[in-house]
């Protein structure tokens, strides 16, 4: 089985997992899902070619938006978490109802970029990107991408983002689900 096949079957897993398959099934399938994620998504370099919802151009724009919403600093951000994969998957599963808002919002953003003489959002400077996003930050489109980006940081890795648990590591969240006292620094 070549990498491409693994990616596609991984995609299928994800989509199925969020469209009406029971939690029991999900739990039983996690080892396979995790294995698929290790082999295919570990190689993601920012040029994802098989989006489920986005066109290639849209995917690149949203990836750049996510990188401003949750930036890479001295610690990982949306890029390293591969939030774009989460967002893309979300828009064909639990966030399907936001497809129209996102498509219209991307068209509007694209017009704004063109109006200021830019080629596309992702090729603007960081300062230009932030100015543009600030101008639209109260729109339903921006709020949708903002929330999906944050979810892509902190949802469990099997949903596509939070790659290698980078989001959880940032906030010190241990997903062992089985703890002994003392829990924190002030415990009695």
Partner 1 sequence: MQKYDPSTEVDFVVIGSGAAGGVMARQLSQAGFSVVVLEQGGWGAFGHEQDYNKDELSNRYPADVDKLISDPNLHRNTFRRNAGETATRGGHNYGCVVGGGTVTYGASSWRHLPWEFNEASVFGTMAGTGIADWPISYAELEPYYTMAEWELGISGERIDTPFMAPMSKPYPLPPQPIKSSGALAKLAAGKLGLTVVPNVAAIITEPYKGRGACINCGMCSGYGCQTKSRSSSAVALLPDAVATGKCEIRANAYVREISTDRNGKVTGAVYIDKAANNREVFQKAKVVVLSANGTETPRLLLMSKSARFPNGLANSSGVVGKYLMSGNGGGASALFDQPLNEYKGCVTGAAVLDFVPNDVKGRGFYGGGRMTARGFTSPIAYGLSGVHGAPTWGVAYKKALIEQANRKMVLANFISQMPIETNCVDLDPEVKDAWGLPAMRITSTSHPNDFKAMEFFRDKSVEILKAAGAKEVWADNISDSRGGAHSRGTCRMGNDPKTSVVNKFHRAHDVPNLFVVDGSSFVTGGRNHPTMTISALAFRAAEHLAAAAKTGNVKI
Using CB atoms within 10 A of its CB, is residue 124 exposed (0-12), middle (13-18) or buried (19+)?
middle
Rule CB under 8 A: is residue 125 a binding residue for partner 1? no
In 3-state terms, what secondary structure has residue 167? helix
Q: What residues from 130 to 159 belong to the interface with partner 1 (CB under 8 A)?
A: 130, 133, 137, 146-147, 149-151, 153-156, 158-159
Q: How far is CA 134 from the centre of its chain?
A: 20
Indicate the residue among 59 and 76 with the shorter CB distance to partner 1.
Answer: 76
Binding mask 77-116 for partner 1 (x = CB under 8 A): x----------------x----------------------
Length of the chain in residues, anyone? 188
HSE value, Cβ hemisphere, 13 Å, CA-based, for 180 = 0
Rule CB under 8 A: is residue 172 a binding residue for partner 1? yes
Rule CB under 8 A: is residue 22 a binding residue for partner 1? yes
Backbone conformation region of residue 148, classed left if phi is above 0, alpha if psi is from -120 to 50, else beta = alpha
User: Which residues here bind partner 1, judged by CB under 8 A?
Assistant: 17-24, 26-27, 68-71, 73, 75, 77, 94, 130, 133, 137, 146-147, 149-151, 153-156, 158-159, 167-168, 170-174, 177-181, 183-188
């Amino acid at each position: 089985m070549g990498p491409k096949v693994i990616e596609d079957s991984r995609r299928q897993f994800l989509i199925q997992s969020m469209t009406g398959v029971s939690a029991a099934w999900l739990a039983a399938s996690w080892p396979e899902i995790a294995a698929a994620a290790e082999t295919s998504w570990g190689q993601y370099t920012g040029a994802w070619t098989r989006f489920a919802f986005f066109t290639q151009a849209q995917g690149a724009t949203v990836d750049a938006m996510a990188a401003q919403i949750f930036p890479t600093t001295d610690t990982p951000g949306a890029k390293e978490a591969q939030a774009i994969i989460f967002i893309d998957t979300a828009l064909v599963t639990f966030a399907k109802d936001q497809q129209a808002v996102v498509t219209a919002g991307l068209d509007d953003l694209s017009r704004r970029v063109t109006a200021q003489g830019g080629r596309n959002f992702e090729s603007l400077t960081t300062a230009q990107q932030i100015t543009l996003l600030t101008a639209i930050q109260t729109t339903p489109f921006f709020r949708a991408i903002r929330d999906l980006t944050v979810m892509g940081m902190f949802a469990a890795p099997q949903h596509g983002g939070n790659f290698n648990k980078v989001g959880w590591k940032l906030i010190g969240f241990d997903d062992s689900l089985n703890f002994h006292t003392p829990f924190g620094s002030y415990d009695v």
